[in-house]
Structure 1
Amino acid sequence: MSDSDAIQNDFITKVNELIEENISNTQFGVSELAQEIGMSRSNLLRKVKSLTKLSVSQYIRQIRLKHSMQMLHEGSLTVSEVSYRVGFSSTSYFIKCFHDFYGFSPGEAEKRNFEESNHDQAPNMKISKKIFLLAGAFIILVLVFFIFIMPYLSAKKQIIKSIAVLPFRNDSNDSSNLYIINGLMESILTNLQKIEDLNVISRTSVEKYRNTNKSISDIAKELNAYYIVEGSGQKVGNKVLLNIQLIDAKYDKHLWAQQYNKGTEDIFTLQLDVAKNIAEEIKVILTPEEVKKINKIPTDNPVAYDFYLKGLEPLHQGTETGLIEAIPYFEKATVEDPEFSDAYANLAIAYYYLDIFQIEKKNSELINNYADKALLFDSHNSRSLIAKAFYYMNIAEYDQALPYFEKALDYSPNSAFIINFLSDFYTTYRPNTGKYLEYALKGIQLDIASSDSATASFTYLHVSNALIQSGFVDEALRYINKSLEYNPQNIYSEYVKAYILFAKNKDLNQTIQLLLNTLEKDPTRLDVLQEVAKIYYYLRDFDNSYIYYKRFLDTKNALNMDIYPSENSNIAVVFSELGFKEESSKYLNEFKIFADNNESIYKNYILSNYYSYIGDTEKALEYLRLFSNEEDYFYWVFTFAKIDPLYDNLKDSEEFKMIIQSIETKFWNKHKEVKAALKAKKLI
C-alpha cells in the first residue's frame, strides 16, 4: 500500500469513527463533521466525494443505515426506537431511506438473512431459463415504464411539489400592523424553501398578487404552482391572530386550514407549525437536516424580532429611501438582541446597496463591522457570508469576496440569488468565460419549471450571455429567445439579443436599430443609453454617439454614480472628434487611471487601447502581445478590436493583424474544447 493510500484509509477511518461516536445525534451533519475533523465544509465535501463517490450527507446516512440493520437483526428494538438510536428524527424518513438503500422495509429486516441483507454483497445463484424469460419480460416492462410512463410521473411530481405563498391580508384597519403580517408570510415562505422536495415560488413573484382579483386557478397557472397558501391576520396587543389555508389549485380544493391565536412570544412556534403542517398535508418527507434548519430560530427575543420584521418591508423595496428606512429597525433589533445574526447581516447588506454605485464609498467600515458580527453569531448563515462578501465587493477586493460567496452556496446550494451573483461576478468583476458559463449553467440546472417568469427569464439570460461570450451563437440565440418568452419586458435580454444577432449577421445597422427599439421602452436606462452610444461609435457616427453619451453622462453625474468606467475611452474619442479637446483629455485620463488599476485578465488589452490611441504604437503592440497569452477571454475582444477607432493607429500594422489573429485562433481552439465538454454533459 502506498503512503497516499494509507493516508486516505486513515482519513476514512477517522470519518467513520466520528460518525459512529455521534450515531444517535440527530443534529450531527456535514457542518458538525467538518468542525470535528478540522476541515472546511467545502474541502470535506470534495475529499469524501473523491474517496467514496458519495456526498458527505449520503455517506453519514449510509453509516447510520448499516448500524440500523445490525440493531434490527438483534430484534429487541422497534423500528421507531432504532430510527432514533441511529440519528433519524423522523421515523417515516428513516423507513424511506432504509427501503431506498436495502430494497425492503425495516419491518422485513429481521426475517432476512443478515449476509443477504448486506447492501455491498450480491448473491451468487444460477438463473433458470424460466427466470431468465421472466427477467426479460420484466426488463421490457421497465423500459416501457421509463420511456412512456416515467416522464408523465416526473412531470406530475414536479408540478405537485410546486407551491406559492400569496401575500397575507391585513385584517386590521391599522395599516401599521401590515409589517408583522408580511413578516409572517415571508418567514413561512422561507421555512418552506428549506425543504428540498418543495419548489417554492419566490417572494418577488407573488408580491404582484397582493391586491389582485384573479382566481386561485389563474394565479396558480401563471406561477406554475400546484398548491397555493393563503393567509390573513392581525396583531391585537401582544396577540397575533392568523388564519391560513392550503389549497389544491388544480381542483380548487381546500386541503387544510387553521386559525392561530398566539402571543408574540410564540410567533416562531406558529411559523414552524404552519410549515410542518403544509409539508405533512402534501406528503413531503422532511430530512433531519431540513427539520434542523426549520427549527432554528433567528432570535429568542420577540421585541428584537418585531423590529427585524419592521425592517424587512422597506429593505425589500430596493430603493435608497427604503434602505435608509430599514436601517434603524435592524439597529434596534440588535440593541434588543446583541447576538441577532440576521439583523447584523441585513444592516451590512443595506449599507452595501447604499454604496453600490457611489464613486466615494462611505460605508465600508460599517459594512465590515456588521458582517463580522453576523458571522460571529452564526458562521453557518448564508446571509452572514453574503454580507462579508459584500464588504469585500465594496472595497473592490473581489478575490477576497469570492470564497464567501462560494461558502454561502455550500450552505444554500439551490439559491438562485447566489448562483446568479456568481455568474455576474465572472462576467463583470473577474471576467472568465469558463466560470461564467459554469455558474450560468448551474442556474439553469435549478428546477426552472418552479421558477417564476422573472427569475426564469434572468436565468436564461445569464446562460445566453455566457454562451455568446464563449462563441456559441446559435445556442445563445435559442436561450435568449426562451428568456424573452418568459418575460417579454426583460430589457437586458432585448439588448443581449441585439448583440447575439450581430455575432450571427455582422450587421451593425441592424444592431443599432434593435437597441433604439429597446431604448424606446425605457429612455431612462443608462445601460441601454451607453450601448446605443457605443454602437454609433463603432459605426463612426460620432454625432449620434455624442448625443447618447451626453445623455448617459448627464444622468450618471447627476446621480454621482461610478459605472461603466471602461466607456471613458470611447467617450474621449467621440468628444475629440467633435472638437471638445479639453473634455476628451479629461475622460482619457480617467480611462488611464482605470486601466492602471484594473486587475482583470483584460488589463493589458485595455492599456493597449490607450497607447494605440495616443500614438505610442510600440507600447500598444507590447501590451497586446502580453494580452494574447491570456486564456478565457470573451468573444467580443477580437470581434470589436477589428473595427475599434481606438486602434486606427495600428489598423495597417501587419504585427497588429497577426496578434489579433492569434487571439482569435486561441479563442476558437478553446471554444472547441468547451463545446466537446458541454456536449459530453448533454448541456448543449
Structure 2
Amino acid sequence: MSLSFSSDSEFIKKLSRVVEENLADENFGVKELAQKTKLSRTQLHRKLKSINNQSVSQFIREIRLNKAKELLQQELGTVSEIAYQVGFGSPSYFIKCFKEYFGYPPGVLLKLPPEDVDNEVSDQYNAGQSLTGKNRLGITLRLLVGMLGVITITVVALFVYKNLIVEKKAAIQDKSIAVLPLKNLSDDTDIQYLAGGIMEDILNRLSRVNDLHLKSRISSEQYRDPDISLPELAEELNVSYVLEGSIINNGDRVRIYVQLIEAESDNHIWSKEYNQDLSDIFEFTSDVSKQIADELQVALTTDEVASIERNYTENTEAYNYYLMGNSLLWPHFWHERTKGDMTACIEYYQKAIEIDSTYGLAYAGLAEAYSALAGIGASWIPYEEAVKRCKEYALKAISLDYNLAEGHAALGDCASDFLFDWDLADKELKLAIQVNPNFALAYRYYADYLMIMGRHKEAKEYLDKSSELDPVFILTNKSYANWYYDMGKFEEVLKIHKQSKRFYNSPKTEQFVIFKVNLHQNKNEEAFEALKQYILLDSPDIDYTEKLSAMYSEFGMKTVIQWFTEYYKLHEADNLQIAALLAYLGEKEKAVDYLVELYNKKDKRWRLKIIKSDYDYRSLHGHQRFTALLEKMDLADR
C-alpha cells in the first residue's frame, strides 16, 4: 500500500488508520509501519518526532491503549482478552503501560459504571492526550473517593502530601538498564570476547544493586549490531537507559569509550573515554559501575559498594580465559552446539581454573557446560560422566563462594534436570534468586522446576520475572510456550512461537507445533495442513501429499494420525512424542510402553520429568503403570 500525504494532520490520520487495521497483530511495529508507508525507519521516526514529538513506538502504543480503553468501557472482554485484541502479547505489560498512560489500572473501568469515571478525565483520554503526573494524581484521588466514599479529608490530604513528596524525591523513577556489548572498532577479531565480557562484568556488578533493574546479557547480546534506533531498542527491551560503547585494541592497552543514554529522548546522560592497561581492567569495570549508579541517583549501601568493587579473580589472564569460555557457551545457548565449540569452551574454563584455583565463576561455567553436554546427549562424553561433572563443579563453585548465584543456579538446574532431586533443586534455585534478584536465568530455571511440580500459578510469576529481566531469551520463550501448552492455552503457544522466529527459526518444528495445538482443539483441517507441511519438510524427496489427502478424505484424521505415528517411529525415534500420539489415539498401554522404554535409557531418562504436567499425557493420569513411573521419579505425590 502506497501512502501520499497532503499535510501533517493527513499523515497522522493515515498512520493511525494503518495501525488500527493491524491492531490485533502484536508483531506489527515500527518496521511494519515503515514498510506500509514506504518510508525508512529513520524517515518515519524523524517525521513523527517533528509533528508531535513522539517516537514511532510511542505513537503505536498510544493508539493501542486508547482503543483498549474504548473496549474496556464497553465491557467487551476481560483485561487479558482486550490486551491481546489490541496487540499486547503480555497482559502484565499491558496493565503496566495502561496505568502509566492513563494514571489508573485498566481493571478500574470494568469495576466502575461509566458515570463514576470523571467526565473531564474521559474527555482528555478520548482526545488522545497524555496525562501529566498531576493529572494522574487527581484521577487517582477522584477514583478513590468514588470507590470508597468514606475516606476523610484528612486522609486524602495526607495521601496527596505523601505522593507529592515521593514524586519529588524520585526524580528518576524507572532505573532499568540494558548493557550492550562494546562495538569492536579494531581489526582484531580476537578481542571480540573481551568486548562482550567487559560489559557483562559491568552488568554483573550492577545486578547486585537493589534499586537497579538490569536486562540479561543474553537479551542484550541480540543487539550487538542493532538495525533499529535506540528508542526502538529500548522499547523492545522495556528499559529506560542503555549503556553502550566501543573498544579499540592497541597492543597491551585498549581504548574504551562508554556512554549512558536516556533511551526515549536519546539524550546522553554521561560518557567517558578510558585508555586502559588490560591489567587494570577490573578497576575500569568497577569505576563505570559506580558512575552509572551515581548518575541514576542510586544511594549505594556499604554491601552494594563492596559487591561492585569485588573481583572474582585478581588474575587478568584467568579472567580472559573465563570470558572466552562464556563467549562460546552462552551465545550458542539456543543453537546446536558443535563439538569444537564445547570442547574449546571447557578448555578455556579449565585454563582459568589452572591459573586461579579459587575462581568460583569458572567452576560455575564448567558446571553449565557439562549440563549442556548432558542435555544434548553429546556422543563424545558419556551422559553419566557429564552429569557427575556438572554437579561436582557446581558444588565446588559454591564451596569457594556461598554467595555465588551462578553456582547455586547450576546445581539447582542439575538437580531438577538430571538428578530428580526435587528438594535440592528447590533449595538451590531459591538461593540463587535470593543471592542475586536480577539473575534472569535462575528465575527461568525455577519456573521450569515449578512446572515439573505442577505448580503452574507460581511458575508463571517466575517466568514473568525472567522475561522482564531477559525479554528476548529464546529459552524463556520456550518455557512460556510449555506453560501455555500445559494449561491448554494453545493459541498462546502459537503466538510465542511466532514471536520467537525473529531469533530462532525452525520451520519443521513450527509446523509440528501447529499440528499438535490444532489437533488438541479439534481443528482437524488446520492440523492436517500443518502435518502435510511438516512431512514435506522432513521428507522433501518423497511426496506424500496425494496419499495423505486421499487417506484423510476417505478415513478421517484418526487414520492419518495412526499412519503418522508409524512414520514418526521410523524417522524420529522420539519416545516422548510417539507416546503423546498414542495417548491421543487412546492407546494408553502402548503409550506407557514407550515412556517406560525411555526411562530404561539412562541417558534419556531425564526427558521424562515433564510428563506429570504436560498436556499430552493427561489421559494417562490414573493409569497404574503411568503412576508407577511417576513414583520412580519421586513425582507421584508432589
TM range (shorter): 0.5 to 0.7
Distance across 1 between alignment mates of 2:469 and 2:359:
35
Equivalent of 1:386 in 392, 409, 418: 409
Residue 578 (structure 2) aligns with: 567
Partner of residue 78, structure 1:
none
Query: What is the rounded CA distance, in whole Å, between the counterparts of 2:571 and 2:496 in structure 1?
Result: 29
Q: Does 1:421 align with 2:442?
A: no
1:432 maps onto 2:432 in alignment: no
CA contact (8 A) 2:565 2:578 kept: no
Distance 1:454 1:368 in 2: 25
Aligned match for 1:399, one of 401, 410, 422: 422
> What is the CA-CA distance between 1:399 and the residue it aligns to?
2.9
Letter matched to residue 434 of structure 2: D
Matched with 1:283 is 297
Q: Partners in 1 of 2:421 and 2:300 — Cα distance?
A: 37
The structure with higher relative contact order (CA 8 Å, sep 6+) is 2
Which residue of 141, 153, 168 corresponds with 1:137? Answer: 153
**What does residue 346 of structure 2 align with?**
327
Structure 1 pair 184/569, CA: closer, same or farther in 2 (3 Å)?
Answer: closer
Q: TM-score, normalised by structure 1?
A: 0.54
Q: Relative to structure 1, is the Cα distance of residues 142 and 488 closer, same or farther in structure 2, using a 3 angstrom cutoff?
A: farther
Please tell me whether residue 306 in structure 1 is matched to residue 336 in structure 2: no
Which stretch of structure 1 is more off in the superposition, 279-288 or 537-546? 537-546
TM-superposition CA deviations, 1:310-349 (whole Å, max 9, x none):
2221122232332222111111111111111111111121
Contact 1:355 1:394 in 2 (8 A): no
- What is the aligned partner in structure 2 of residue 252 from structure 1? 266
Alpha carbons of 1:467 and 1:252: their partners in 2 closer, same or farther (altered >3 Å)? same
CA deviation after TM superposition for structure 1 residue 386, in Å: 2.7
Distance 1:443-1:542 versus aligned 2 partners, 3 A rule:
closer
User: What is the DSSP-based 3-state SS (H/G/I as helix, E as strand, rest coil) of the residue aligned with 2:225?
Assistant: coil
- CA distance 1:405–1:493, change in 2 (3 Å): farther
Superposition deviation, residue 481 in structure 1: 7.3
- Per-residue deviation at 1:394? 6.8
Percent of residue pairs identical: 24
Q: Give TM-score scaled by structure 2 length.
A: 0.58
Cα-to-partner distance string for 1:536-568 (whole Å, 9 max, x where unaligned):
996663223323343323xxxxxxxxx645735
Match of residue 444, structure 1, among 460, 464, 474: 464
- Where in structure 2 are the equivalents of 1:141-160 lying within 5 Å? 160=174
1:375 aligns with 398
Confirm whether residue 220 of structure 1 aligns to residue 239 of structure 2. no
Confirm or deny: 8 A CA contact 2:584 2:616 kept in the other structure: no
Distance 1:249 1:521, change over 3 A: farther
Alpha-carbon distance between aligned partners in 1 of 2:231 and 2:403, rounded to the nearest angstrom: 39
Rate the CA distance shift 1:258–1:325 in 2: closer, same or farther, 3 A.
same
Alignment correspondent of 2:7: none
Alpha-carbon contact 1:181-1:234 (below 8 Å) kept:
no
Partner of 1:409: 433
**Counterparts in 2 of 1:156 and 1:353: CA distance versus 1, 3 Å:** farther
Other-structure match for 2:200: 186
Cα shift at 1:256 = 0.7
Sort the Cα spacing of 1:639 and 1:593 in 2 relative to 1 into closer, same or farther, 3 A.
closer
- Local SS of the residue matching 1:262: strand
CA distance in 2 between counterparts of 1:456 and 1:161 reads 23
Aligned partners of 1:381 and 1:408 also within 8 Å = yes
Partner of 2:109: none
Change (3 A) 1:464 1:515: farther
SS at structure 2 position matched to 1:233: strand
Tell me the alpha carbon deviations over residues 440-483 of structure 1, each in whole angstroms, 9 at most, x when there is no partner.
22322568498348577456535534543xxxxxxx46865774
Q: Secondary structure at the match of 1:363?
A: helix
Assess, with a 3 A threshold, how the Cα gap between structure 1 residues 550 and 166 changes in structure 2: closer, same or farther: same
Structure-2 separation of matches of 1:283 and 1:439: 33
- Residue 347 of structure 1 corresponds to 366
Deviations 1:48-67 (A, max 9, x none): xxxxxxxxxxxxxxxxxxxx
- Deviation sequence 1:556-592 (CA, Å, 0-9, x none): xxxxxxx645735967999x9xxxxxxx99x997644
Question: Structure 1 counterpart of 2:441, which letter?
Answer: F
Q: Secondary structure at the residue paired with 2:222?
A: helix
> Take 2:584 and 2:516, find their aligned partners in 1: how far apart are those partners?
22
Please give the secondary structure, in 2, of the residue aligned with 1:247: strand
8 Å contact kept, 1:385–1:407: yes
| Residues 449/263 of structure 1: CA separation in 2 closer, same or farther (3 Å cut) | closer
TM-superposition CA deviations, 1:503-542 (whole Å, max 9, x none)? 6x54455445456668889999xxxxxxx9xx99966632
The Cα shift of 1:367 comes to 2.7
Aligned to 1:417, what secondary structure does the other structure show? Answer: helix
- The alpha carbon displacement at 1:297 in A equals 1.2
Distance 1:498 1:232 in 2: 46
Partner residue, 1:542: 562
SS of equivalent to 1:209:
coil
1:212–1:596 CA distance, 2 compared to 1 (3 A): closer
Q: Secondary structure at the match of 2:276?
A: strand
How many corresponding residue pairs?
A: 445
Identify unmatched segments of 5+ residues in structure 2: 1-150, 541-547, 627-638
Q: Which letter does structure 1 place at the counterpart of 2:484?
A: S
What is the match of residue 204 of structure 1?
218
Q: 1:641 to 1:326 in 2, by over 3 A?
A: closer
Q: What letter corresponds to residue 181 of structure 2 in structure 1?
A: P
Read off the aligned partner of 2:462 and give its amino acid letter. K
> In 2, are the aligned partners of 1:444 and 1:463 still within 8 Å (CA)?
no
What is the rounded CA distance, in whole Å, between the counterparts of 2:304 and 2:190 in structure 1? 33
Give the aligned residue type for 1:277: Q
1:389-430 alpha-carbon deviations (Å, 9 max, x no partner): 355457534336413223223323443322222332344xxx
Residues 105-157 of structure 1: CA distance to partner in whole angstroms, max 9, x if unpaired?
Answer: xxxxxxxxxxxxxxxxxxxxxxxxxxxxxx9435445778999x999999996
* Residue 188 (structure 2) pairs with residue 174 (structure 1): yes
Structure 2: distance between partners of 1:262 and 1:363: 39
Judging changes above 3 Å, is the alpha-carbon distance between structure 1 residues 596 and 548 closer, same or farther for their aligned structure 2 residues? closer
In 1, Cα distance between the equivalents of 2:211 and 2:484? 28
Partner of 1:270: 284
Letter in structure 2 aligned against 1:243:
Y
Q: What is the one-letter code of the residue matched to 1:543?
A: W
SS of 1:308's partner is: helix
User: Which secondary structure state, in structure 2, belongs to the residue aligned with residue 541 of structure 1?
Assistant: helix
